Amino acid sequence: MQKLIDGVHKFRDEEFGRYKSLFKRLSRQGQNPHTLFITCSDSRVLAELITQSQPGDLFVVKNIGNIVPPANVVGSTNSTAAAIEFAVQSVGVSDVVVCGHSQCGAMTALLENKPSPDSPHLNQWLEIAAPVRTLIENNYSHLKKDSQACITAAGEENVLFPVEKLPNVSGRPGKTWGRFPGAFSAGVFQNQPRGKLFPFNNPKKKTNSSGVGSTNFPRTLAGKKLKPPS
């Protein structure tokens, strides 16, 4: 805790001056971030750092495993959906980026599928991404003996899932992510060995008025090795 307190003082004394006019303008005009950035709570993934963004640029949601629940999941499990609605409808972001990362503990737990009786909330949360686990079991059986490759594949499929599949989940107008056609993009941050963010290009971005996602995203993080067998 002392480290945080020291950091707050250091920021105020040494850093704030550099951002003073920016914070003043943001305070005066209100925020106008261009992107909702959904990423993992993992302490190694700092949205502003890896995208070199400034205060006011990103509206950030961090949750366990950067999971984006379907719009029809309501209640305490869907604060992420609330953030999407608020960011898109009220704040007016034009982009929603779902950013996964390598070595994700949530993806590991998702694939292991050993829910702990001591973690009912975590179990419930991870089960939202159960379709990703099924997809890995069905389409990536060729990686079965390589657990790290499976986790990497799950990380990719998890960020592509909302982009490709969720707009079709509900089918009820006004109750699906299809209200936000073309807003979703996805990427995976690989902290080791390259510190690189791998983006997935959305071929339907801004062009698909139905909001239905594409299934043609290239799986690029680990190249051909992760490609599901055709």
Q: Based on CB atoms, which residue is closest to Zn ion, 43 or 230?
A: 43
Nearest CA to 63 out of 122, 139, 133 is that of 122
Asked if residue 176 lies in contact with residue 189, where contact means CB atoms within 8 angstroms, the answer is no
Which residue, 189, 173, 193, is CA-closest to 221?
189
- Closest approach, Cβ 42 to Zn ion, in A, equals 4
In angstroms, what is the minimal distance from the CB of 187 to Zn ion? 14
For the chain, what is the radius of gyration of the CA atoms? 19
In the complex, least distance from residue 9 CB atom to Zn ion, rounded to whole angstroms: 30
Specify the residue, 92 or 105, whose C-beta has the smaller distance to Zn ion.
105
Lay out the site mask for Zn ion across 105-144 (x = CB under 5 A, - = otherwise). Answer: -x--------------------------------------
Compute the distance between CA of residue 63 and CA of residue 141 in angstroms, rounded to an integer: 28
Q: Which is nearer to Zn ion, 40 or 60 (CB)?
A: 40
What residues numbered 73-112 form the site for Zn ion, per CB under 5 A? 104, 106
| HSE-up of residue 181 (Cα within 13 Å, Cβ side) | 9
| CB of residue 105 to Zn ion, shortest distance in Å | 6
Within 22-51, which residues bind Zn ion (CB under 5 A)? 40, 42
Q: Binders of Zn ion: how many residues, by CB under 5 A?
A: 4
Q: What are phi and psi of 142, to 5 degrees?
A: -70, -10
156 lies in the binding site for Zn ion (CB under 5 A) = no
Closer to Zn ion at the Cβ: 71 or 104? Answer: 104
Instruction: State the minimum distance, in angstroms, from the CB of residue 191 to Zn ion.
Output: 10
- For 184, the 3-state DSSP assignment is strand
Task: Tell me which DSSP letter residue 17 carries.
Answer: H
Q: Report which of 167, 180, 25 is spatially closest to residue 93, judged by C-alpha positions.
A: 180
Task: Give φ, ψ of 113 to 5 degrees.
Answer: 55, 50
Nearer to Zn ion, 99 or 169 (CB): 99
Give me the residues that bind Zn ion (CB under 5 A), please. 40, 42, 104, 106
